[in-house]
Structure formats: structure tokens, C-alpha cells
Chain A
């Protein structure tokens, strides 16, 4: 049982999806369950070789698959009739179909889990490549799969990704640097409003112009402005610790949305018509925010042709880079690229990108003001290009944060979180280190905010209230403070519960109610209970598993220090003093 415990839990999460959503969900659920098992197997220290990985993946994938079959049977034989829906049928009756569909799901889950967890335990660069290939393929084909199964999940996946990026940013501040920030949504708001003001005619229109900046520029500006406000907030909190810091950030989180509500008539700046400047749009916020503009956007449709084109493009770039290195480097230096090859390679990559984007589509440049040409806009109705865009931002964030964590700065954060005084006596500049934590944490909310504004096309102050800060903090804590896979999982669970499961549950209950004429059930709105649900989840987590679902090894060490000490007790009968004094008292 113990060996497949994780598989069973993953299966239960998959079953929740099957039960609530129904239809052909089972295969998508199996795929995701397999991926999660495979991805998180990296944290399992008892697995040493790819062979261990395959065994672990198969065992847990099959366990999850069995649970999924039960779930599919429940859905097809119990819930579907109850809700008056036609159950999934592949031509052999409801029960048979459920069983076969579940079995296919089992195979998918086991295969994906086995492949991925084997890849996780390859040595060296092979691991990065194999895991990257599996996860990359999934992300690349997701719109295709989504369409094939008739799920239409992309509209939910995109906001989930936005919030995961926010959670990763907050994780820098809270998880790495140990600074409790209760007002993180404020930076999200600042990023979104910066983007909104610059890429709509909201501001320029009041001065009689129609100037708009392109999304590709604005996203960086929004990140920079958010980072700047990170420093502005960080500076006064420098001498504060723990509770006091939390209170100040809480205040900041309250002030920012109120400011954005009230800055709709700034008296000391007059518009071209002599009116006071409407900076933030007040309660209704800013609308008509221009979407990104990319000449090839129509081709970003997730089709097989696009994927082949993309893979071909990557291969061409890699081949070109390789050739450049072979030609320019002498044999001995062939393993290390010189500055010259980097420059030539870089230029080549830029040229190829240019050719890729403009080879067949003429018109506009990426920095052009949107609206000058109808072609090439990201449309609100076409979600696939948005999906690919957020995946790119997400990938960039993960890469960057991972590098940060291992950098000198990352180590300085860690030391500061452990013991400020000791960190200072190691030569760490606390002021700089803290401010950089706030600034870099805010940067990612700037990215998220800019995308959010462009994606929705409009922003209002009510989207950035305290509950968002709490939601993002919940993701970080639920998943595992300071651990990137943990934070991603936490974000996935909480946001999908918030915007996906609760809404679909409401729909399902409504259908059951109308099918059985149940008045009480018809008026039940599951999404009304979201905050209560998160509260309960957090309380349970703090009691049962305070280190989060996928903790970093360090947090496990801290919160289970007694067990850890006991493990080493035999070895260190060296000293009469009790081991743990340092952890608890000093």
C-alpha cells in the first residue's frame, strides 16, 4: 500500500475531475495523473535508477488507473443517469464503455508515469532533455488533445497558468527570502494597470491622441514598474520582521486597489478638454486593452502542421548553431563556445526567428501599434495562441526562478531566511538582499498582470482585492514553501478548484436538481463556498502536513526536526548536550 499511496491520491484527484466534469474527461485525467506521478517522482529519494523509475511509475500509474476506472464507472452508471445525461458510450453499453474507457485511462496513466519517472532518474543532461521532451510534448499538444476530447478547457487553463506564475513570484519573497507578504495582489494590480494604461487609449485618448504601446514592450515595462514598487514597498519594511512585516504588506495590499478605484479624477493634471485626468478608470477600470499582435498568430492553432513547423524551426536553429560552432571553433575549443560563436549564433537565431515570423506573412512589426492592421491580433475567441503565449511566459519564469534559486543571491536569501544576524556576519548585505527579493518577486506579478490585462481586455480594481493575495499565498503554502514543483502543484489544485471545479460542480448539481425536481439542490451554488473550502483545506494542511504537499527537503528538515535528529542520534553519541537546542531556542 505504502508504495502506491501517491498513485492512489493522484487517482482520487483524477476521479474528482471525472465525477464532476464527465464526458471524455477520463483520458485527459489519466494523462495529467500520469504526468504528476512522473514529475513528482523526482522528489522520491528511494528511486536511484531509470529502472526504479519505471517500476515506480508503472505501479503508481496502475494504482491511479484502478481508481480512475472506479470513478468512470460511478460517473457512467450513477451520476450520468442521475443528471439525465448520456453516459460515455463507445458502442458497447454504458457499463462496458466505462470499463474500457477506464482501462485505456489506466494504460495512459501507467505509460506516462513510467516514461516520465524513468526520465527523472536518468543521469546528467539526459534527464533534462527527456523530462523536457515529455512535458514539452504534453504542453505543445494540449490544445489539440483538448479539442479532440471536446473538453474546451483552455479558457480555464490560461487563468490557472497566470496564477501559478504569480505563486512562483510570491514564492521568491515568502519561500526563498522568508518575508511574509500578505499584499502580493497589489503588485499583480500594478502590473495589470501599467499594461492597461499603456496599451489602451485610456490615457492617450484623454490627451487627444490614440497612442498605444504593443504588448511585447508593455509586458517588460509592467514587470519593471512592478519591481520598482516592490522596492518602494520593501524599503520602509526593512527593519521589520515577521508579524510586523506581514501587517505592512497587508496595508499595502489594501491601499493599492483603493488607490486604483479613486484615482479617476486627478485634479492637478488636466486633460486636453480641461477635465481632471482620469488615471485609473475608477470602479469600472480600464477597458479595450489591446491584445498582443503577432503576424503568424493565425498559425498558432495547435494543429499538427504548426507543431511540425515548430519542431522543424527548432531543429534548423540547433543545426545552424552546431554548424557555426564547427566552422568557427578549432577542435580543442569545440566544447566551449567562444564569444565570437555566441555572437554569430545569436545573430543567426535572430535571423531565423525573423524568417520564421515573416517568411510567409507580410505586414506589421511585433512592436507595431495594434489596430493598424486587423490581421495578426490575438482574438479573445481564439484561445490557443493565448495558451501558447502563457506557456512561453511560464517556461521563462521557471527557468529564471530556478537559476535565481541556485545563484549567489538565492543562497543569500536562504541564509537571510535562516538567521539574519548570522547572514550579516557572513558578509551578506541584508538591505540589498531583501529589496531584491521584493523586486524580483514583484517582477513575475508584473508579467502575470500584463498578460491578464491583455487576455481579458479589461481590468477592474475588484479583481485585485485581499482575497487574491490570500489565494496566491494559499497556493504557495499548500504546495510547499520554497519548492517550485510544490508551488506549481499547489497553484494547480487551488486555482482549478476555484475557477474550474466549483463552477462545474454547480452546473452538475443544477442538472441533477432539474432532473429530479429537487428545489434545495437547484439553489445550491458550490462556488459560494470557495473561501470556506480554502480555509478548511489550510487548517487541515497545517495540522496534518505543515510542510505542504511537496515540501522542499529543507522545510521537511525543519518541521520534522525531531525525527531527523532521532535518525542521527546513534551516530552522534559524541556529545552530551541535546542536539536540538539550536533549532528551537536560539
Chain B
């Protein structure tokens, strides 16, 4: 049984049919990436999984249990945590408070403390900034904070939405290395990216999304060698 599975999911924004029957699976321990151009429905897929924009049709299951009718705050309890697009850290909360918010649904104080140490281990930068307000961090630091915050909820599946957005290339590389580390420590990751080259570089498998539908799915290696993908998303001729 797949850890996370979407079956023929249709999601609408009002009358706009954003997802037109998405089916995908994420197995335990994988990094799965969703690539595609602007407006393809990548972020919508993540919002559908996390319950912020529930699907009108189809099923989302986590470990075989349906989660598509569950409100967003309860999906978090089940172990689906998201680092949202545009990071959305709490600007007037300190770095520490931001991380604590990530563990909002948890009550096991000692484990929270050790998880915070783990986050600081992954992002030493955050430890230096621990008392600083989130809004005063640089873009890269904010991205680290958003990922760290999601990790504080002990996710079974970590949903990452465009972690490379607006960051300098050297920093993107650093963030992606950390994502790989997080995965190798045992966290399953669903990664949404426009930067297909980077995403396919660290993912095990990938799906290509186009106007709300999945047009291709394969191992990351095969996708990066696929001619259509190379032309459309990797900028190769």
C-alpha cells in the first residue's frame, strides 16, 4: 500500500476546473517530484492533499485511510505537513516560535525539544537566528524556516512547494542537498518544483503535470532523459 495515494482527483476553484483527474502515488521513503509549468496545478495538488482546497471528486488516501474530507488542521495531525508556496512563515514570531508553531498539535515536550535540535542540525543558520523575527530573515533563511517548521510536526509525508522560488542558484543547491538529507533520515517527500533539473536530480520518481492532468510519469532518471521533458522543462534543444 502506498503511503500517499491520489485517485482521479478533481479540484475546482469556484468554476475553474484546476485538477482534471490526478492520480499519483508516493511510497514510503521516496522523494517524488511534481514538475510542470506555471498554472499546471502543482500547488493545487498539494493544497488538495493538505485539505486546504478539498477535491470535489476522487480520493486522497494516507496509509489507506481517506483524508480528502478531513479539514486541513486535522490532516496535519495525521502526519501530512506542508512547507507552503511563498514560504508563509510567521513574520512577527521569532524563529523559535515559528518552529514551535510547527509542533502545535504535539504535546510530547521532550521530543519537541529534540526535534528542534534536529532542525538546528540541518539548518545551523536557524540556530544563529533563533531569537530573530521571522520577517527579518533573508529569503533563503525563510525557506529553511518553512521547511524546519514543517519538520517539527514529525511528518509522515512532507509536502514542499517550490523551495527554490526566488533564491540564488548557490542557495538552491544548498536547500536541495538538505532536502536529500531529510529524506535519507527517513522522511517521505513530495516535492513540487518549477526547477525541473534540480528536482529530478534528487527525486526517485517524477510526474509531469500539464493543465491539471498528468501527462508523464517515470523514474526521475528516465524523465530527465526524456526528449519532451528536456525540451519543455529542462531548456535543452
The 8 Å CB contact of A577, one of B73, B92, B168, is B168
Query: Is A427 engaged at the interface, CB distance under 8 Å to the other chain?
Result: yes
- A582–B167 Cα gap in the complex (Å)? 13
User: B121-143: which have CB < 8 Å to A?
Assistant: 125, 132-142
The 8 Å CB contact of B133, one of A423, A564, A575, is A564
User: B28-55: which have CB < 8 Å to A?
Assistant: 50, 52
Q: Please tell me which stretch of B83-91, B192-200, B217-225 contacts chain A, meaning at least 4 of its Cβ atoms lie within 8 angstroms of it.
A: B83-91
The 8 Å CB contact of B90, one of A419, A429, A568, is A419
Known contacts A577-B167, A579-B138, A586-B88; is A426 also within 8 Å of B101 by CB?
yes
Query: Is B64 engaged at the interface, CB distance under 8 Å to the other chain?
Result: no
Provide the residues of chain A in CB contact with B133, threshold 8 Å. 554, 557, 564
Provide the residues of chain B in CB contact with A408, threshold 8 Å. 104
Is the CB–CB distance between B76 and A577 below 8 Å?
A: no
Is the CB–CB distance between B168 and A576 below 8 Å?
A: yes
Query: Is A360 engaged at the interface, CB distance under 8 Å to the other chain?
Result: no
Is the CB–CB distance between B52 and A421 below 8 Å?
A: yes
Is the CB–CB distance between B90 and A586 below 8 Å?
A: no
Query: Is A332 engaged at the interface, CB distance under 8 Å to the other chain?
Result: no
Query: Is B81 engaged at the interface, CB distance under 8 Å to the other chain?
Result: yes
Known contacts A554-B92, A575-B140, A579-B136; is A586 also within 8 Å of B86 by CB?
yes
- A564–B153 Cα gap in the complex (Å)? 29
- A565–B91 Cα gap in the complex (Å)? 12
- A555–B93 Cα gap in the complex (Å)? 10
The 8 Å CB contact of B139, one of A423, A428, A557, A577, is A577
Query: Is A528 engaged at the interface, CB distance under 8 Å to the other chain?
Result: no
Is the CB–CB distance between B91 and A422 below 8 Å?
A: no
Query: Is A400 engaged at the interface, CB distance under 8 Å to the other chain?
Result: no
* Residue-wise interface mask of B (100-122) relative to A, using a CB-CB cutoff of 8 A (1 in contact, 0 not): 11101100000000000000000
Q: Please tell me which stretch of A11-19, A108-116, A409-417 contacts chain B, meaning at least 4 of its Cβ atoms lie within 8 angstroms of it.
A: A409-417
Query: Is A425 engaged at the interface, CB distance under 8 Å to the other chain?
Result: yes
Query: Is A578 engaged at the interface, CB distance under 8 Å to the other chain?
Result: yes
The 8 Å CB contact of A583, one of B86, B135, B140, is B135
Is the CB–CB distance between B91 and A577 below 8 Å?
A: no
Is the CB–CB distance between B52 and A425 below 8 Å?
A: yes
Provide the residues of chain A in CB contact with B58, threshold 8 Å. none
- A102–B72 Cα gap in the complex (Å)? 63
- A220–B104 Cα gap in the complex (Å)? 31
Is the CB–CB distance between B93 and A414 below 8 Å?
A: yes
Is the CB–CB distance between A425 and B137 below 8 Å?
A: no
Is the CB–CB distance between A424 and B73 below 8 Å?
A: yes
Provide the residues of chain A in CB contact with B101, threshold 8 Å. 411, 415, 423, 426
Query: Is B166 engaged at the interface, CB distance under 8 Å to the other chain?
Result: yes
Known contacts A554-B92, A557-B136; is A426 also within 8 Å of B102 by CB?
yes
| In the complex, number of A-B residue pairs with CB atoms less than 8 Å apart | 124
- A3–B52 Cα gap in the complex (Å)? 51
Query: Is B149 engaged at the interface, CB distance under 8 Å to the other chain?
Result: yes
Provide the residues of chain B in CB contact with A583, threshold 8 Å. 91, 135
Is the CB–CB distance between B139 and A568 below 8 Å?
A: no
Counting chain B residues whose Cβ lies within 8 A of the other chain, the interface size class is 35 or more
**A185 CB, nearest partner CB in chain B, Å:** 29
Is the CB–CB distance between A574 and B140 below 8 Å?
A: yes
- A426–B52 Cα gap in the complex (Å)? 12
Known contacts A411-B100, A575-B141, A579-B137; is A558 also within 8 Å of B91 by CB?
yes
Counting chain A residues whose Cβ lies within 8 A of the other chain, the interface size class is 35 or more
Known contacts A422-B88, A422-B90; is A582 also within 8 Å of B72 by CB?
no
Is the CB–CB distance between B72 and A415 below 8 Å?
A: no
**B142 CB, nearest partner CB in chain A, Å:** 6
Query: Is B215 engaged at the interface, CB distance under 8 Å to the other chain?
Result: no
Is the CB–CB distance between A561 and B102 below 8 Å?
A: no
**A574 CB, nearest partner CB in chain B, Å:** 6
- A577–B50 Cα gap in the complex (Å)? 29
Which among A430, A565, A577 has the highest number of chain B CB atoms within 10 Å? A577
Is the CB–CB distance between A582 and B132 below 8 Å?
A: no
**B115 CB, nearest partner CB in chain A, Å:** 14
Shortest Cβ distance from A558 into B: residue:
B92
Query: Is A49 engaged at the interface, CB distance under 8 Å to the other chain?
Result: no
Is the CB–CB distance between A418 and B168 below 8 Å?
A: no
- A428–B86 Cα gap in the complex (Å)? 19
- A564–B92 Cα gap in the complex (Å)? 12
- A509–B142 Cα gap in the complex (Å)? 59
Which among A415, A426, A429 has the highest number of chain B CB atoms within 10 Å? A426
Is the CB–CB distance between A582 and B73 below 8 Å?
A: no
Query: Is B57 engaged at the interface, CB distance under 8 Å to the other chain?
Result: no
Further 8 A-B residue pairs, CB within 8 A, beyond A411-B101, A414-B90: A422-B90, A426-B102, A426-B153, A575-B138, A577-B166, A582-B91, A583-B135, A586-B86
Q: List 12 A-B contacts (CB under 8 A).
A: A411-B101, A411-B104, A414-B90, A426-B73, A429-B71, A554-B92, A557-B135, A564-B136, A568-B132, A574-B138, A575-B167, A579-B137
Q: Which residues of A contact B (CB under 8 A)?
A: 408, 411-412, 414-415, 418-419, 421-430, 554-555, 557-558, 561, 564-565, 568, 572, 574-583, 586
A-B pairs with the 9 shortest C-beta distances? A427-B76, A577-B139, A575-B138, A427-B105, A422-B88, A418-B90, A554-B92, A575-B140, A583-B135
